[in-house]
Structure 1
């Protein structure tokens, strides 16, 4: 495994023999310090990408019920799936019942459903239309 600074320092050093820092005041030492200053930004980018990736995975799990199966679901089940999608998408839940049901969900960031991906909004539209067709209240 090569060290992060191996390209700038000009030699491949492993994490186990990192004790060889470039000479004080040298150009190589300045490059190494510059790399260290840039690292937090790189870690921040990695964290942001991870959050986006994993939040997409969570939303995809909620969309696992095939819309063709909505007709066979009870009004309670349809309500639960709707609220689950909203909670995982970090949309603020409107009713106390929903907030209690999803109290362990991540903190909401907006009451506006437009923060959801288009696929999730379309899915909710199909779910809500099915609920209205079945005569479920609250949809």
Structure 2
């Protein structure tokens, strides 16, 4: 369930894909990302935004030769840690959708319950319950 009251993300991890439309379908089916917007025609995705139900999201697009755009990312080299609640259920969903298992569910020494998979483009995704440490208060 999406938290509509969560603050808007200010950092957007981005990636490129050889087959962006197929990767979008995979990320929605395997992990539960929500397709927010996809711009492009035919097989080419100029820009896509996928939202994560607990907050945040990613942006992605098709690999293309664009000499005017210095934003060059190689497909299959992306990695992300994504916070989730039902790790075992999400792991089963990812396996059923064909994610390549890198590491089955495990518990870290700091108490996070995680698993790691690779998507069809070769990107690494680790899902876990660790939400990070609280931000330090700043004097102001």
The TM-score, its normalising length taken from structure 2, stands at: 0.25
Name the larger-Rg structure: 1
Higher strand share: 2
Report which structure shows greater RCO (CA 8 Å, sep ≥6).
Answer: 2
Higher helix share: 1
The TM-score, its normalising length taken from structure 1, stands at: 0.25
